[in-house]
Amino acid sequence: MKQNYFLGLALFIIATTTFSQENTVGTIIYNPELSDGGYNLIYPHNQSTAFLMDMCGNVVHTWEHGDSLRPANVLYILENTDVITTYRPADNSEDAIWAGGGGASIERRTWDNVPIWSFTRNDSAYRLHHDIQPLANGNVLVTAWEQRDSLECIEAGRNPANLTGDGMWSEVIWEIGPDAYNEGQVVWEWAVWDHLIQDFDSTKSNYGVVADNIHKININFGQTLGAAADWLHINAIDYDPFSQHIMLSVPTFNEIWIVDRGNTTSGELKWRWGNPMAYDRGDSSNTKLGFQHHTHWLDLALDSDNADYGKVGVFNNRVQGDTSEYSTVHTLIPFYDEYENEYAVDAASGTFLPADFDWSFSSPDPNTIYSNIVSSFQRLDNGNSLICSGKSGDTREYTQEGELVWYYKTPLLNQAGMASPVSQGTVLNPFQNLTFRAHRYPADFPAFDGIDFVAGAPIELDPTPIASCLVCDLALELDSISYDSSSANISIIANGSYDLNSIEWINLSDSSVIPYQNELDFTTTQSGDFLITVTDIMGCTTSLVVSVIIDSVDSPSPLAVGLYPNPTTGILNLVLNASSGNALVSIYNMQGQTVFTSNNSNSPNALRFDLGHLNNGAYTIVIQTSTGVATSRILIQK
């Protein structure tokens, strides 16, 4: 007698997730309920890529630069999706002007990294450095070192004892715009050299009483940096279109400056704050800032009705504690009279107001917010603070109450001037993952309209997402079954947000891994329970148990049947092989009573039944078609 076969498939889904509680890089903490959310931009040192990431550290977009280039610290996303990026050559050994923060080029690009226009200045006279500020008219404000030789410095009143043979670097602020040939050109300039005062040598230029000239810059003030000629080291620039004022961070003076760009006193130093000793007022007890970074108006990131609108934010790098140095972040309110275009001065002391910060924040553990260089602070729209301690590539988001709700560690290791991704679990030390700034763009930022962000892999290798970031939507389902001679051919579909990393089939009868079976399709000639387990690149894991029954039946042709999920809470899926034809489905309780029937003429290969009205328990299902009869046991568990 010809031997035919009956094939029954019962499918059981097992979903599991894996995650680490001890991440050391990438996203380490994320509380979606308290975080302001959005997308985070970093442009770390010693490599050539700017990364836009979601809150879980998954990269959603990058802007690449050539391998021979390095960041000139910042990249800004514009509301029309263009970006203004900065870069410099990786090799600076032959550069006439070089110090930390040095730049060379700015470039406007499309979202997809296509250049639009650019400007470069890096020679013996000038070098771009540190920061830029895009303007609404499409132009860009930049900071640049300006070489002044020793004779010029002495004539301007500089104490010769504070000079080297290289003279000193002053500063200029340029507004750069594209010409008809898409080459950047200088369309406006402000130079520190035009606003000097000195009381050292009455025979030289700029002589006067420093304390009586608070709107001028003392050429003999300022701390010495690693590059002796680097006098001012301006490390941040911002622009307020309402007042038409430019804000500058001058860390060697421990001061913030505001310069009139185009109001009634164009070019004048209007306001300065942080260290009145820079203009011979007050003493060390009046010094509020220490080598600060990222001074800026908070307006751009906030709604006009926000309580912080109009305030100034600053990362205060070097605060002297009782036993060690630490960092703080602050907001403050300059007292500005928009009608007179003037900032208030305290009548008694002759120092610019305010007397102190409006708001201050420091970590209870000074080691968690500390960086004596670089770094940034951003006030988010919900009142949270985004703080980047750049020396350690450490970015944290705190609530107003001081609760840590997001923590990200730049997962790059600098070795011999080249930073490369590290594996999750790597412990990085300061200066190994320098990050000049971190910036949060809200999810509704205009540039993101119409952009379908697809979460890619994180920067770090071997990523292990934390629980709140583990979007485990990975799921398996039976796609099709077929019968070929005496074997069952099973095809599985994996659905999820991320690519698969591994696939494994196990024969549960002896718990052995089936060799060479690393695909979603599986063929077997044996009866038994088989477990397929898949894992995606984020570590999400899910499994499906396929119970295969191959029996001899007296039928002219085989019937292949798949049932899932089993157990079920009520919904039962039935998959038939293509040649099955019409199907009569009957379900019986353990007393042999018929509790469900369905006669599916011209039935498709996949059927779906709602058994939610049945009580919990075991049932027998019988499927009759023109090609045979299949019987299996199902379990309802609600």
In this structure, the strands spanning 412-415 and 418-421 are: antiparallel
Q: Compute the distance between CA of residue 234 and CA of residue 67 in angstroms, rounded to an integer.
A: 27
Q: Pull the structure tokens for residue 250.
A: 């001058």
Q: Compute the distance between CA of residue 88 and CA of residue 481 in angstroms, rounded to an integer.
A: 59
Q: Which fold is adopted by the domain 26-468? A: Neuraminidase (2.120.10)
Whether residue 195 contacts residue 257, with contact meaning beta carbons closer than 8 Å, is answered with: no
Q: Compute the distance between CA of residue 67 and CA of residue 44 in angstroms, rounded to an integer.
A: 14
Q: What is the pLDDT of residues 86-106, one digit of tens each?
A: 999 999 999 999 999 999 999
Higher pLDDT, 486 or 597: 597
C-alpha distances in angstroms, 69 versus 73, 89, 303? 12, 5, 37
- What's the pLDDT score for residue 525? 81
How much is the average pLDDT of 131-151?
97
Higher pLDDT, 146 or 480: 146
Q: Compute the distance between CA of residue 133 and CA of residue 247 in angstroms, rounded to an integer.
A: 10
Q: Compute the distance between CA of residue 305 and CA of residue 333 in angstroms, rounded to an integer.
A: 16
Mean pLDDT of the chain: 89
Q: Pull the structure tokens for residue 485.
A: 């001679």
Q: Compute the distance between CA of residue 28 and CA of residue 22 in angstroms, rounded to an integer.
A: 8
Whether residue 292 contacts residue 315, with contact meaning beta carbons closer than 8 Å, is answered with: yes
Q: What is the pLDDT of residues 578-593, one digit of tens each?
A: 666 678 899 999 888 9
Which amino acid makes up residue 291? F
Reported as a pLDDT band with limits 50, 70 and 90, residue 522 is: confident
**Lateral strand order in the sheet of 39-42:** 59-64, 49-53, 39-42, 438-441
Best CA proximity match to 407, nearest among 430, 384, 383? 384
Q: Which fold is adopted by the domain 4-17+470-636? A: Immunoglobulin-like (2.60.40)
How much is the average pLDDT of 123-139?
98
Q: Give domain limits for the chain.
A: 4-17+470-636, 26-468
C-alpha distances in angstroms, 412 versus 47, 184, 576, 580? 9, 33, 52, 57
Q: What is the pLDDT of residues 380-433, one digit of tens each?
A: 999 999 999 999 999 999 999 999 999 999 999 999 999 999 999 999 999 999
543 class by beta-carbon count within 10 Å (0-12 exposed, 13-18 middle, 19+ buried)? middle
Chain centre distance of CA 446: 17
Whether residue 576 contacts residue 605, with contact meaning beta carbons closer than 8 Å, is answered with: yes
Q: Which of 334-348, 500-514, 560-574 has the lowest mean pLDDT?
A: 560-574
Q: What is the pLDDT of residues 159-218, one digit of tens each?
A: 999 998 889 999 999 999 999 999 999 999 999 999 999 999 999 999 999 999 999 999
Which amino acid makes up residue 489? N
Q: What is the pLDDT of residues 527-562, one digit of tens each?
A: 677 888 998 877 788 887 776 655 544 444 455 566
C-alpha distances in angstroms, 341 versus 262, 336, 449? 11, 7, 37
